Amino acid sequence: MILNHLTSPAAGPGRSPSANDFSRRSFLQAGAAAGGGLLLSLRLPFATGDAEAADGFAPNAFIGIGRDGQIVLTMPYVEMGQGTYTSIPMLIAEELEVDLKQVKLEHAPPNEKLYGNPLLGGVQATGNSNAIRAAWQPLRQAGAIARTMLVSAAAKRWNVDPASCRAQSGEVLHPPTGRSITYGKLAADAARVPIPKGVVLKRAEDFKLIGTPAKRLDTPSKVNGTAVYGIDVRPPGVKIATLAQSPVFGGRVKRVDDSAPRLSRACDRSYGSTTPSRSWPTIWGPRRKGWRRW
């Protein structure tokens, strides 16, 4: 509901129309990944253009290409059934020239300073239809930059003109000599290539993935119970609270019966409207049994 009251600045015509509009200093940095691959760190502007305004570089999305060729995107948007975990990897895969299934997605950890969404009052949240609008340009650009760096690394290795090479399905090819090499084998070398200037993004009519139907990447985990939802997360020492509401208007708590052994063992004895506990059954059972008197 709150989302309906928010402004929706669109990344429309005239806004970052070409790949060169982003300040590379604040938008993207490249380096070696842990384990020796290529790591691109970038700042998703959340459709507000804050990347241009930021003084320092505070990346909030990361693209890693490992020596095994696995591409891992770490980013803060949450999948809620809207397809974000499939559409966002599409943006990278399109320009990086890899199959959609080659992109693995990891969710960013909680950190509002890095991942807070200015469109949602600085809260680390996903909504307002802004994931694709915010990521549309920078993630395709990051994919194109990574692809260009991988091609450069291959051309250097083969001592050929980069323009004579092309990228396809996670490999760099050199058609004149029939040579090919996987991204995984190039990732470490690519990390030492300077970030290219003026990469050109594909025209819409050349898209192979974007705009096509795709099997959702999150579905397999949702038919076998392995998908992790918010309620499934169990940080060490987490407390769980339940809300007990008076059955009559204006009622006040008269007595709290915490004599049930499991309840007294688990509770922190903070009798506001909620009672923290370490697990659901310890509060859910007593709650059902009417452990409060009104």
Partner 1 sequence: MPTTIKVNGVDRTVDVDSDTALLWVLRDVLGMTGTKFGCGMALCGACTVHVDGVATRSCITPIDSVSASEITTIEAIGATAAGAKIQKAWLDREVVQCGYCQSGQIMSASALLASNPHPTDSDIDDAMSGNICRCGTYVRIREAIKQAAQSNGQGG
Task: Please report, as ranges, the residues that interact with partner 1 according to CB under 8 A.
Answer: 80-81, 215-216, 218-220, 222-229, 231-232, 234, 262, 279-281, 284-285, 288
User: Minimum distance from CB of 255 to partner 1 (Å)?
Assistant: 22
The answer to whether the beta carbons of residues 255 and 243 sit under 8 Å apart is: no
Distance from the Cα of residue 232 to its chain's centroid: 19
> Alpha-carbon dihedral of residues 30, 31, 37, 40, nearest 10 degrees?
-30
User: 173, 67 in Cβ contact below 8 A?
Assistant: no
Q: From the CB of 46, what's the least distance to partner 1, in Å? A: 22
- 163 versus 231: smaller Cβ distance to partner 1: 231
Angstrom distance (rounded) from CA 40 to CA 146: 8
Give the nearer residue to partner 1 in terms of CB position, either 80 or 200: 80
In the complex with partner 1, the residue whose CB is nearer, 81 or 272, is 81
Q: How far is the CB of 230 from partner 1 (least distance, A)?
A: 10
- Whole-number Å distance between alpha carbons of 53 and 55: 6
Q: How many residues in total does the chain contain?
A: 294
Shortest Å distance, C-beta 90 to partner 1: 16
Burial class (CB in 10 A: 0-12, 13-18, 19+), 157: middle
* Closer to partner 1 by Cβ: residue 34 or 233: 233
Supply the minimum distance, in Å, between the C-beta of residue 87 and partner 1: 14
Q: Which is nearer to partner 1, 7 or 226 (CB)?
A: 226
